[in-house]
């Protein structure tokens, strides 16, 4: 599934910030381009005040890296970029260097559908400084957005409590790729289908849809519109009943149900897209049941999100299927995840890895140094804590994880009494893909399975219990010592 090639018919290597190229050029000029480094991509807060996040977007990253190259028209463009004084920004020898560049990095990442948390690496890149730097913007673009939407979808699906959730946000999405990536991520997050036909074709997502109010309005009467639609789709008739009067629409739908039944067919459902959804769904259920059609499903839409669905559930609304659009695909209440990509280690001239740290006046912005990974510990199939640790760490009878922001939050874990899972898995080795890509249906199921490993208190929509994620004790000490060593001494009088 060559997503980027299928969509854009060419290399996306210029899909980056200009400062990545100015840094790349400066690395090349200073002789540092081939120095080996490690970068880690992570985020600092769960989105939507959630207790968890769902990783998505890795498939896009895989395609981007497999197609990483500079085409001649890319190079011609870079060669013509000018400085403010009219001189060329990049000299010809650098352009020739880019022409010969072949992707050669090692990439490890959490798999799509994995449940992840702040400060842990979602993706780790090891390779030449210049290539690692050029990857920063595109991988952030791909993982930031899809992870955000997959998380929103997972929250909506949890709120629906097992009812199908249909994604139909294409018309409100942020452009073409925003719509396609959102449909993909929403399915990974647990949605049952999409209205986006191109997403169905490209990704293999089930597509669904019935008709709009314009279908009804194109006929002289609502009944005539219903009859024509049932004639066209006798095996999949779902009728939108709120064009003129919702309850009268339900009564007309019952007449169609009777006609279909006489032909050995059945009305699959009705959809309500406006008004008091709790009231109208309950009245519709009463009318349908009284007429002898308890099997007819009630589909609801109208700017739904996880909070409105929860409210309707508490009101015991008679809704069987939920159609969610705008507030899902636009991540309506939080427009960005805010993931970052930071250097965490660099090889020195003797070939030894040196941890790197970025300081800030805000402790939340201090990164985790070193060549690190994440282990999840589970007891009886339930996740009890995640440990960010340095690769090569010796096994211990007891490990202590320490919250990097609040060191008073600590948890002791005995690995021998728990199952452990390493979350970063190999994706590329020396530029070659080594990862077997699951299909999107397997990824969606993984999301559901992995969410089931967490206690319901971590998944509640408001004030979730904080799941324990921390630095292994020796990594915490390394980070603290690097902060003290690197931080400039205060001047005292």
pLDDT score recorded for residue 361: 75
Residue 122 near residue 109 (C-beta atoms within 8 A): yes
pLDDT score recorded for residue 486: 83
pLDDT in tens, 451-472: 999 999 999 999 999 999 999 9
DSSP code of residue 205: -
- Among 368, 326, 361, 317, CA closest to 344: 368
Q: How far apart are CA 25 and CA 90, in angstroms?
A: 7
pLDDT score recorded for residue 202: 93
- Average pLDDT (419-439) is 97
DSSP code of residue 118: T
Say how many CA atoms lie within 13 Å of 492 toward its Cβ: 1
Structure confidence at residue 364 as a pLDDT band (50, 70, 90): confident
Q: How far apart are the first and last CA of the chain?
A: 64
* Sign of the CA dihedral with 86 first, then 87, 89, and 94 last: positive
Structure confidence at residue 342 as a pLDDT band (50, 70, 90): very high
Indicate if the pLDDT at residue 311 is higher than 80. Answer: yes
Q: Which domains does the chain have, with CATH numbers?
A: 3-150+335-486 (3.20.140.10), 151-329 (3.20.20.70)
Indicate if the pLDDT at residue 487 is higher than 90. Answer: no
Say how many CA atoms lie within 13 Å of 436 toward its Cβ: 2
Say how many CA atoms lie within 13 Å of 225 toward its Cβ: 22
pLDDT in tens, 267-276: 999 999 999 9
pLDDT score recorded for residue 493: 46
pLDDT in tens, 276-296: 999 999 999 999 999 999 999
pLDDT score recorded for residue 11: 76
pLDDT in tens, 4-32: 545 655 678 999 999 999 999 999 999 99
Residue 257 Cα distances to 38, 293, 318, 385, angstroms: 63, 8, 19, 52
Q: Helices marked H in 67-128 — which ranges?
A: 72-80, 92-99
CB atoms within 10 A of CB 1: 13
pLDDT score recorded for residue 251: 98
Residue 154 near residue 309 (C-beta atoms within 8 A): no
pLDDT in tens, 327-336: 999 999 999 9
Q: How far apart are CA 62 and CA 427, in angstroms?
A: 8
The radius of gyration computed from the CA coordinates of the chain, to the nearest angstrom, equals: 27
- Average pLDDT (429-437) is 97
Q: Average model confidence (pLDDT) for the chain?
A: 95
Instruction: Assign 41 to helix, strand or coil.
Output: strand
* 5 conformational bin, left if phi > 0, alpha if psi -120 to 50, beta if neither: alpha
pLDDT in tens, 186-197: 999 999 999 999
DSSP character string of 290-340: HTT-TT-EEEE-SS--HHHHHHHHHTT----EEEE-HHHHTTTT-S----E
CB atoms within 10 A of CB 396: 14
Give the list of residues 6+ apart from residue 47 with CB closer than 8 angstroms, or none. 53, 148, 151, 152, 331, 334, 337
Task: Compute φ and ψ for 221, nearest 5 degrees.
Answer: -135, 160
Indicate if the pLDDT at residue 129 is higher than 90. Answer: yes
pTM over 0.85: yes
pLDDT score recorded for residue 351: 87
Indicate if the pLDDT at residue 492 is higher than 60. Answer: no
pLDDT in tens, 235-256: 999 999 999 999 999 999 999 9
Q: How far apart are CA 96 and CA 82, in angstroms?
A: 17
pLDDT score recorded for residue 478: 94
Q: How far apart are CA 369 and CA 184, in angstroms?
A: 33
- Average pLDDT (205-213) is 96
**Could you give the maximum distance between any two Cα atoms of the chain, in Å?**
95
Residue 224 CA to chain centroid, in angstroms?
Answer: 43
């Amino acid at each position: 599934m060559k997503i980027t090639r299928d969509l854009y018919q060419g290399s996306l290597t210029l899909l980056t910030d200009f400062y990545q190229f100015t840094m790349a050029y400066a690395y090349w000029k200073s002789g540092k381009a081939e120095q080996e480094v490690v970068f880690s991509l992570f985020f600092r807060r769960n989105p939507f005040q959630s207790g968890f996040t769902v990783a998505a977007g890795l498939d896009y990253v895989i395609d981007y890296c497999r197609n990483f190259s500079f085409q001649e028209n890319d190079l011609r463009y870079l060669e013509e970029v000018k400085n403010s004084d009219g001189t060329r920004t990049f000299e010809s020898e650098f352009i020739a260097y880019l022409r010969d560049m072949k992707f050669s990095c090692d990439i490890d990442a959490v798999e799509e559908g994995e449940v992840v948390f702040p400060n842990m690496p979602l993706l780790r890149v090891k390779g030449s400084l210049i290539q690692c730097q050029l990857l920063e913007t595109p991988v952030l673009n791909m993982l930031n957005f899809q992870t955000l939407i997959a998380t929103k979808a997972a929250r909506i699906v949890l709120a629906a409590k097992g009812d199908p959730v249909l994604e139909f946000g294409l018309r409100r999405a942020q452009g073409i790729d925003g719509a396609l990536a959102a449909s993909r991520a929403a399915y990974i997050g647990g949605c049952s289908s999409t209205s986006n036909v191109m997403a169905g074709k490209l990704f293999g997502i089930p597509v669904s849809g019935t008709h709009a109010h314009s279908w009804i309005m194109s006929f002289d009467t609502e009944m005539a519109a219903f009859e024509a639609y049932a004639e066209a789709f006798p095996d999949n008739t779902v009728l939108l009943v709120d064009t003129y009067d919702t309850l009268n629409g339900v009564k007309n739908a019952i007449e169609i149900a009777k006609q279909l039944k006489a032909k050995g067919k059945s009305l699959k459902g009705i959809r309500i897209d406006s008004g008091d959804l709790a009231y109208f769904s309950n009245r519709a259920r009463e009318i349908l049941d009284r007429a002898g059609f308890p099997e007819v499903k009630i589909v609801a839409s109208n700017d739904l999100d996880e909070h409105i669905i929860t409210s309707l559930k508490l009101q015991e609304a008679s809704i069987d299927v939920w159609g969610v659009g705008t507030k899902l695909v636009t991540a309506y209440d939080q427009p960005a995840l805010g993931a970052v990509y930071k250097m965490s280690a660099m090889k020195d001239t003797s070939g030894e890895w040196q941890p790197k740290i970025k300081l800030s006046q805000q402790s939340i912005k201090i990164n985790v140094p070193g060549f690190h990974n994440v282990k999840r510990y589970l007891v009886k199939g339930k996740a009890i804590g995640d440990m960010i640790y340095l690769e090569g760490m010796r096994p211990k009878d007891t490990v202590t994880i320490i919250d990097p922001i609040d060191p008073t939050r600590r948890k002791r874990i005995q690995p021998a009494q728990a199952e452990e899972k390493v979350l970063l898995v190999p994706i590329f080795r020396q530029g070659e893909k080594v990862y077997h890509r699951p299909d999107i249906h397997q990824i969606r199921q993984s999301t559901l399975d992995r969410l089931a490993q967490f206690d319901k208190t971590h998944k509640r929509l408001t004030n979730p219990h904080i799941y324990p994620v921390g630095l292994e004790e020796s990594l915490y000490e390394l980070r603290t010592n690097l902060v003290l060593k690197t931080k400039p001494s205060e001047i005292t009088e």
